[in-house]
């Protein structure tokens, strides 16, 4: 039998049974005492009633006769009764006869003594009888002792028997169940089933059902633990297989778990030594302490504090080996019973992606700011991107052409004429090279050297088409200028040779004509013909002089000169010529003097050529015209403008005005050398 312990169920049950039985015995005893007390009081009242019915009449006769002996005998008989301690007869308010002593805690009762005579009924005295409660209390006390003793004996007998039955049927089995549960270890496998001892042939009771339930719990717990360990192993394998570092921390920042990838972010140690490490403080030492989510530790603190899922990219981090990284950090709060007990953080190394994004941003800026013209379309030819240079050179608005097919959005380039060649080249996978020239939306004429090539993905599918161009407008202009200069150089050498070859024979012809003109016998018609021939010789001499001037080397010495003075000298020399042509000259000179370093005779020749060209153009009208000469300073350069109100230059002649010997005047009036010479002089300055 098991020893009785103060904390055992049996001891507590025994004490509870004893207390309940004692309380029940006390209550029943009190009830019984109350009933007995009331019965005693009823007995006293019954005695008083019997005294009034049997003893009062004889006592009235004795008192009427004043029989002392008989009265004393009757009073003594009353006091001998149980609980009666005093009996007295009083007459006229005074006690005449008395037996015993009055009760202090008793029950008094008075009876009137009345005697009937021939004259009627007359009260002759009063009988007082006192019943004491002392005897009643004594009898009740004896009954209390008897009742409590008998009930106590029964209570202890019943409690002992119950304790015996409980320890025999329940306590032993409960102890066996407790020992079995304490010895269960589900981590070592399914426990051995529990079998309780019971008498042979007895039916299973509640304790057997509890044992069966415990056996079922043991089996299911062992299976659940095995499943949990298997899932934990799978989860650990999954965590270790991922490239992301996974950390678990408690509310104080101490590590609760870490996967294999996470060890790279911690000092050289195993997983067992890392668990319990204050990760947040360790990372603060490496990355700087921060309560704001600008570092990994700061973000995890914010997650625990605010109980919110947070994510940030590009957070700086330094590995223990000093390698600088950029991390993408996701942190999740762990909330249990309404309290945040920690957080789970995922670290992803985005340094490579960060570098790629920087390179992408750099390439984007390179493409956007590159001087080359770049246009990108999708496989269908819809424009997706144009860089700044393309928009600037072509004068297009990127927002207006993005989303529109290139052939439709750039009509100024006249791509339709090359569409078939471009499509064929793209299908063949080779670049298309070509030159496109057109006018931009701003009216500026431009020329582009274009290379169009396809972009394919890894499967060989066409994804985009890129057009890269170079603005060759200035290059073509320089080429044209070079060609013009070469023409001028060749023309100069040719004119020098022609002037030399024609000059001497022409001089001889002119002298011969003058000699013939001086003969007196010359007829008037012949003289007129000779005069005409001499004029033609003069025209030829002028042409030869212009040719010599075209190639004649100037002094080449630049000196400081006043621009306005040069213009005034040219106008003064040609005042008569301008008046004859009815040309009104308006001077719109700059208010401030303009001084420049130039070869004076060359600049003067430029002004003369421009002045004569303008005057000849205005001479077409008989009313003459108006010539406005304007000077100004612009960008550190002197600007001189000759503007007239004449018919102007025809558009088809604009491209040829600087070609030597090209003239719009009658052949007898112009040589076509004025503007080419002026162009060469200005270009040289």
Whether residue 138 sits in one domain with residue 33: yes
Nearest in space to 567 (alpha carbons), one of 646, 658, 635, 632: 632
6-39 pLDDT, tens digit each: 556 777 777 887 888 888 888 888 898 899 899 9
Among 297, 325, 293, smallest CA distance to 312 is for: 293
Q: Domain with 316 in it: what CATH number?
A: 3.30.450.20
Same domain as 131, residue 25: yes
CATH code: domain of residue 604: 3.30.565.10
Percentage of the chain modeled with pLDDT above 70: 86
Helix (H, G, I), strand (E, B) or coil at 397: coil
Number of domains the chain contains: 4
Per the prediction, the chain carries an average pLDDT of 82
Reported as a single tens digit per residue, the pLDDT across 152-188 is 888 888 888 888 887 777 777 777 787 888 888 877 7
| Residues 23 and 141 occupy one common structural domain | yes
Which one has a higher pLDDT value, 681 or 373? 373
Which ranges in 337-402 belong to alpha helices (H)?
351-369, 388-394, 398-401
Same domain? For 312 and 378 the reply is no
User: pLDDT tens digits for 218-264?
Assistant: 888 888 888 888 887 887 777 777 888 889 999 998 998 888 888 88
Among 97-101, 109-113, 123-127, 444-448, name the one with the lowest average pLDDT. 444-448
Final residue in a domain of this structure, among 114, 145, 176: 145
17 plus 112 within the same structural domain: yes
Q: Where are the alpha helices (DSSP H) in 51-133?
A: 56-65, 68-79
Q: What is the pLDDT of residues 341-361, one digit of tens each?
A: 999 999 988 888 888 888 888
3-state secondary structure of 3: coil
Q: Given pLDDT bands bounded at 50, 70 and 90, which one contains residue 466?
A: very high
pLDDT tens readout for residues 606-658: 888 888 888 877 765 566 688 999 999 887 889 999 998 888 877 776 666 66
- Environment class of residue 518 by beta-carbon count within 10 Å: exposed (0-12), middle (13-18) or buried (19+)? exposed
User: In the prediction, which pLDDT does 619 show?
Assistant: 64
Cβ atoms 27, 34 nearer than 8 A:
no
pLDDT on residue 200: 65
pLDDT tens-digit series, residues 206-220: 777 888 888 888 888
Residue 131's domain comprises 9-145
- Selected residue with higher pLDDT from 668 and 23: 23
Domain assignment present for 510: no
Is 664 domain-assigned? no
* Arithmetic mean of pLDDT, 187-211: 75
Rounded to 5 degrees, φ, ψ at 117 are -120, -175
CA proximity to 665, closest of 608, 616, 611, 612: 616
Angle at 183 between CA 179 and CA 185, to 5 degrees: 155
List % helix, strand, coil for the chain (3-state, nearest 5): 55, 25, 25
**Domain edge (last residue) among 145, 166, 200:** 145
Cα(675)–Cα(673) distance, rounded to whole angstroms?
A: 6
Chain centroid, CA 298 distance in Å: 16
Checking if the pLDDT of 551 tops 60, the result is no
Residue 468 pLDDT level (bands cut at 50, 70, 90):
very high
What are the helix (H) ranges across 518-585?
524-551, 563-573, 575-580
> Same structural domain for residues 309 and 418?
no
Lowest mean pLDDT among 103-112, 315-324, 409-418, 427-436: 409-418
Per-residue pLDDT tens for 491-510? 667 767 777 777 778 878 88
| Per-residue pLDDT at 13 | 77
Angstrom distances, CA of residue 375 to CA of 122, 167, 407, 466, 467: 152, 98, 12, 6, 5
**Stretch 288-312: mean pLDDT:** 81
Residue 103, C-beta contacts closer than 8 angstroms, at least 6 positions apart:
85, 86, 130, 131, 132, 133
399 and 430 part of one domain: yes
Three-class secondary structure of residue 271 per DSSP = helix
Residues 332, 413 share a domain: no
Categorize the per-residue pLDDT at 333 as very low, low, confident or very high, splitting at 50, 70 and 90. Answer: very high
Query: What is the number of alpha carbons within 13 Å of residue 299 lying toward its C-beta?
Result: 23
**Domain-terminating residue out of 94, 126, 145:** 145
Residue 552: per-residue pLDDT: 56
């Amino acid at each position: 039998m098991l020893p009785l312990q103060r904390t055992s169920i049996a001891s507590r049950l025994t004490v509870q049974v004893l207390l309940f039985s004692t309380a029940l015995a006390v209550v029943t005893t009190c009830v019984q005492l109350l009933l007995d007390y009331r019965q005693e009081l009823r007995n006293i009242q019954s005695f008083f009633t019997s005294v009034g019915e049997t003893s009062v009449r004889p006592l009235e006769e004795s008192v009427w006769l004043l029989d002392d002996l008989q009265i004393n005998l009757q009073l003594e008989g009353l006091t001998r009764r149980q609980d009666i301690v005093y009996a007295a007869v009083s007459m006229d308010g005074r006690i005449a006869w008395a037996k015993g002593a009055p009760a202090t805690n008793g029950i008094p009762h008075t009876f009137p003594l009345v005697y009937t005579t021939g004259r009627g009924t007359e009260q002759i005295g009063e009988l007082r009888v006192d019943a004491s409660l002392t005897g009643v209390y004594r009898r009740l006390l004896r009954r209390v002792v008897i009742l409590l003793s008998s009930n106590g004996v029964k209570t202890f007998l019943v409690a002992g028997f119950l304790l015996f039955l409980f320890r025999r049927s329940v306590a032993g089995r409960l102890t066996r169940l407790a020992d079995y549960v304490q010895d269960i270890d589900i981590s070592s496998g399914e426990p051995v089933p529990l079998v309780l001892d019971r008498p042979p042939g007895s039916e299973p009771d509640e304790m057997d059902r509890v044992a069966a339930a415990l056996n079922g719990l043991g089996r299911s717990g062992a299976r659940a633990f095995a499943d949990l360990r298997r899932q934990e192993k799978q989860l650990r394998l999954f965590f270790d297989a991922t490239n992301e570092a996974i950390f678990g921390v408690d509310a104080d920042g101490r590590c609760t778990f870490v996967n294999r990838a996470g060890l790279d972010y911690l000092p050289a140690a195993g997983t067992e030594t890392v668990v319990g490490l204050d990760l947040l403080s360790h990372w603060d030492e490496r990355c700087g302490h921060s309560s704001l989510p600008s570092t990994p530790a700061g973000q995890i603190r914010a997650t625990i504090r605010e109980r919110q899922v947070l994510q940030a990219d590009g957070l700086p981090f330094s590995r223990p080996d000093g390698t600088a990284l950029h991390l993408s950090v996701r942190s999740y709060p762990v909330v249990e019973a309404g309290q945040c007990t920690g957080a789970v953080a995922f670290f992803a190394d985005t340094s490579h992606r960060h570098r790629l994004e920087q390179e992408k941003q750099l390439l984007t800026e390179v493409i956007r700011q590159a001087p080359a013209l770049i246009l990108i379309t999708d496989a269908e030819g819809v424009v997706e991107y144009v860089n700044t240079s393309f928009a600037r050179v072509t004068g297009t608005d990127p927002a207006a052409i993005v989303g529109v097919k290139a052939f439709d959005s750039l009509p100024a380039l006249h791509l339709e004429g090359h569409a078939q060649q471009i499509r064929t080249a793209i299908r063949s996978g080779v670049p298309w090279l070509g030159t496109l020239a057109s006018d931009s939306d701003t009216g500026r004429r431009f020329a582009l050297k274009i290379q169009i090539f396809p972009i394919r993905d890894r499967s060989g599918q066409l994804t985009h088409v890129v057009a890269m161009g170079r603005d060759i407008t200035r290059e073509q202009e320089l080429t044209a200028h070079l060609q013009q200069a070469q023409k001028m150089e060749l023309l100069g050498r040719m004119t020098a040779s022609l002037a030399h070859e024609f000059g001497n024979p022409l001089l001889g012809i002119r002298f011969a004509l003058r000699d013939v003109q001086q003969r007196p016998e010359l007829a008037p018609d012949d003289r007129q013909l000779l005069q005409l021939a001499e004029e033609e010789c003069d025209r030829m001499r002028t042409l030869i002089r212009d040719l010599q001037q075209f190639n004649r080397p100037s002094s080449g010495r630049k000196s400081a000169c006043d621009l306005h003075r040069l213009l005034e000298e040219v106008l003064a020399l040609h005042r008569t010529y301008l008046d004859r042509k009815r040309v009104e000259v308006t001077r719109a000179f700059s208010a401030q003097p303009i001084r420049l370093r130039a070869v004076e005779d060359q600049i003067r020749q430029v002004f003369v050529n421009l002045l004569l060209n303008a005057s000849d153009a205005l001479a077409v009208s008989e009313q003459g015209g108006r010539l406005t000469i304007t000077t100004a300073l612009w960008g550190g350069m002197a600007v001189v403008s000759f503007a007239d109100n004449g018919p102007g230059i025809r558009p088809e002649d604009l491209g040829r005005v600087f070609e030597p010997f090209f003239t719009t005047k009658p052949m007898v009036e112009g040589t076509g050398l004025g503007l080419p010479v002026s162009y060469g002089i200005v270009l040289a300055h």
